[in-house]
Structure 1
């Protein structure tokens, strides 16, 4: 009898300690004791988040431009985006809040609410895309049909995200070796068993179109999410102002993009398919294991889609209701379910249009926020001010920012019609739209400051 009581007590203790590990901080400021992430850990998180089973798709999307120009375009994309990425990442160290809470000062509470709803669906789309890739790979490996693997992948990802950034960081750190070994094994097989020659351009390089595809697929699609992770980093006022905190996210993201896009392009040339994981079923024993490892690595990326999607939804809910500790796990479960259904319904078939649409919205939104944070808020707004009740109409909508965003959005949508050759062959349209939007906002706020 005594042993049964002891065992029951242990079971209850284990269950309670496990439940206590589920992240419930939601949109509130991250407590100081949880802000322990170093620049090295930040680098690994974003390297692994970018090193998805879907990332080699870039090699297929840019195949017609050839290997050399693709590599140059990826490097140029990093040069264009590393400063915005670094500034957004530092924002999380300066004030331990997710970016869309900070957006309440930039766009007003209702403006931030609307963006939160929008980006919730954007991240659900990314989650669905990556889950679809993993499901297709596992169906191919096990010669299966239907949605069973889609559901398995979706459930595993949801469980991981429930435990939040602390356990996500552990997961990235300790499974990074597994991913490198699995991809390394399949890449070795690709280069040792197929005739590989560097793909040459089959048409003239279109720098604007190529860079637009890359930044929308990778670094600028991630940028507004960077503070959602860096809010768990060591605070900036702690004295650790090392440049690596600024560079770690962009270098991690683009290193994975560069390496895996090269593998994807070579795989497309040699096998007719960009997805190197599909080689696994043709390799006895170890090939299948490696392919499963690559497919499961989709969790690296998808966790960083579902996690921000949850936080974005919580920002919207917090505009209406007070935060509750159960909101975060409930939102994770609901969004994970809906995103898995998107994968099953075939969102992968609409990837090109999806990438174009998110670039039109995210880049102007991000650039305006950076201008506001640096030149209006001067990086000094206390965390508690983002939760003050709405008292005036200006707190609901910040019209200068919304007007500037609308200009950027219009340019992004119709700019290509005004000058097709300029924005396809030379300039990346979303970046131009973002810079124009940021410039309009800068001029407007400067005029307001002078008049005051």
Structure 2
């Protein structure tokens, strides 16, 4: 009897660690993440086994121009990522709940459904890379590794941001050591030379690839993490919190992009971890590094995907305690199925779709949060049931988004040389959509602060 009670007590304690906050405001006692811890979260989330692929995608432009493209992408994404970081600290909600005021409740619902599938795609893409790499290293069946990696990631995400941050922090050194050893293996056993350009640099195309592969694909998820950070009312390290996401994300892209480019030049394959397939001892380090890299990144794909799905469900029903863990398990299963079905074969088209949709969405939402809402909308207001058509559909932002989307998709047909050689097309689409939104909402921008103050 005593053993049974002890077992029940332990199980109760374990279940108590499962995160069930869902889409509700994060309690103040859980908002303790420092800027340094947030930087590590994004550094590790971005350090995927897939990230070296950027070195292959830009290989024909050469090393110097790839580095410059990554630095320019960092500057482009710095402000959006920083503002989303501050958004989560100011109102401890996920970005797609805040989008209810930007796009209307039904508009936010549609984006929540869409981004749930986008994150499932990222999860499947990374799981596919991990499965194929681990299968080559261990000479075991690839689909088995898909399920093993998928299951580990689901279990980790069930315990939420608190334990994800612990996991990132305490495994970061192991990941760095594993990849450092793989770099040593590359330089010691292969003829490595600096990759030079074989084609004229296309800045628009290169920056589009980088931002959609990294910082602007992550940006709308930033507040999903920063809602657990020290509140913005605490002035401590405000600049550090602003910079943390972009520095973490792009530092990983730069380092692993270099790895991928040098690996592509020396071995003909961007996937550095495959070096371990022909070296048993090195293979252990490669397998551990790949597993950690994929788990780090996919946890930050599955976690926001779960929250996005909950935003969609909450549009029509009240949240319940166990919605979050159930959604995590369901999405993790179907995302793993995507990996098995071969999403890796469609990576470039997938990246194009991401940029076309996410960047205009993100830019317009930032404009609304900063200049229309003036960062003053209370958390409770995002859960009020709409009473007017405008609250269901916010047409200025939706129409502006469509304008940005049209430019992102077809702008290259209108001005092919401009958007290939000079300007990143999705970024231009996002900026134009934002300008349309500002012009449309200018009267409201001038009057809304007084309205919000009266409501408070």
Pairwise TM-score range, normalised by the shorter structure: over 0.9
Corresponding residue for residue 304 of structure 1: 300
Corresponding residue for residue 339 of structure 2: 343
Corresponding residue for residue 260 of structure 1: 256
Instruction: Determine the C-alpha separation between the residues in 2 that align with 1:239 and 1:250.
Output: 20
Instruction: Determine the C-alpha separation between the residues in 1 that align with 2:314 and 2:20.
Output: 14
Instruction: Determine the C-alpha separation between the residues in 2 that align with 1:430 and 1:413.
Output: 8
1:443 positional shift = 0.9
Corresponding residue for residue 417 of structure 1: 413
Q: How big is each residue's C-alpha offset from its partner over 1:248-276, in whole Å with a ceiling of 9 and x where there is no partner?
A: 10000000000000010000000010001
TM-score, scaled relative to structure 2: 0.97
Corresponding residue for residue 63 of structure 2: 67
Corresponding residue for residue 74 of structure 2: 78
Q: Does 1:50 align with 2:64?
A: no
DSSP 3-state at the match of 1:423? helix
Out of 428, 433, 436, the position equivalent to 1:437 is 433
1:451 positional shift = 9.0
Q: How big is each residue's C-alpha offset from its partner over 1:68-108, in whole Å with a ceiling of 9 and x where there is no partner?
A: 00000000100111011100111000000000000000000
1:449 positional shift = 5.0
Instruction: Determine the C-alpha separation between the residues in 2 that align with 1:192 and 1:242.
Output: 43
Out of 356, 375, 388, the position equivalent to 1:392 is 388
1:7 positional shift = 2.2
Out of 234, 237, 242, the position equivalent to 1:238 is 234
Length, aligned pairs only: 447
Out of 270, 281, 286, the position equivalent to 1:291 is 286
Q: Does 1:18 align with 2:14?
A: yes
> Contact conserved, 2:204 with 2:421, CA < 8 A, in 1?
yes
Corresponding residue for residue 426 of structure 1: 422
Corresponding residue for residue 376 of structure 1: 372
DSSP 3-state at the match of 1:322? coil
Corresponding residue for residue 139 of structure 1: 135
Instruction: Determine the C-alpha separation between the residues in 1 that align with 2:310 and 2:238.
Output: 31
Cα pair distance change 1:450/1:18, threshold 3 Å: closer
Instruction: Determine the C-alpha separation between the residues in 2 that align with 1:294 and 1:352.
Output: 25
Out of 272, 275, 281, the position equivalent to 1:279 is 275
Instruction: Determine the C-alpha separation between the residues in 1 that align with 2:231 and 2:350.
Output: 35
Q: Where in structure 2 are there 5+ consecutive unaligned residues?
A: 449-456
Instruction: Determine the C-alpha separation between the residues in 2 that align with 1:239 and 1:147.
Output: 49
Corresponding residue for residue 115 of structure 1: 111
Instruction: Determine the C-alpha separation between the residues in 1 that align with 2:446 and 2:423.
Output: 33
Q: How big is each residue's C-alpha offset from its partner over 1:337-373, in whole Å with a ceiling of 9 and x where there is no partner?
A: 0000000000000000000011000000000010000
> Contact conserved, 2:19 with 2:160, CA < 8 A, in 1?
yes
Corresponding residue for residue 151 of structure 2: 155
Instruction: Determine the C-alpha separation between the residues in 2 that align with 1:288 and 1:450.
Output: 61
1:6 positional shift = 2.6
Corresponding residue for residue 454 of structure 2: none
Instruction: Determine the C-alpha separation between the residues in 1 that align with 2:235 and 2:408.
Output: 40
Corresponding residue for residue 452 of structure 2: none
Instruction: Determine the C-alpha separation between the residues in 2 that align with 1:414 and 1:129.
Output: 26
1:450 positional shift = 6.1
Instruction: Determine the C-alpha separation between the residues in 2 that align with 1:216 and 1:76.
Output: 13
Corresponding residue for residue 193 of structure 1: 189
Q: How big is each residue's C-alpha offset from its partner over 1:209-242, in whole Å with a ceiling of 9 and x where there is no partner?
A: 0000000000000000000000000001023253
Corresponding residue for residue 216 of structure 2: 220
RMSD: 1.0
Corresponding residue for residue 28 of structure 1: 24
Cα pair distance change 1:176/1:450, threshold 3 Å: closer
DSSP 3-state at the match of 1:237? coil
Instruction: Determine the C-alpha separation between the residues in 2 that align with 1:6 and 1:194.
Output: 62
1:145 positional shift = 2.8
Q: How big is each residue's C-alpha offset from its partner over 1:381-424, in whole Å with a ceiling of 9 and x where there is no partner?
A: 10000000111111100000001000000000000000100000
DSSP 3-state at the match of 2:233? helix
TM-score, scaled relative to structure 1: 0.98
Cα pair distance change 1:232/1:449, threshold 3 Å: closer
Instruction: Determine the C-alpha separation between the residues in 2 that align with 1:103 and 1:117.
Output: 13
Runs of 4+ in 1 over 4 A off after TM superposition: 448-452
Instruction: Determine the C-alpha separation between the residues in 1 that align with 2:409 and 2:309.
Output: 26
> Contact conserved, 2:131 with 2:143, CA < 8 A, in 1?
yes
1:448 positional shift = 4.5
Q: Which moved more, 1:291-300 or 1:118-127?
A: 291-300
1:203 positional shift = 0.5
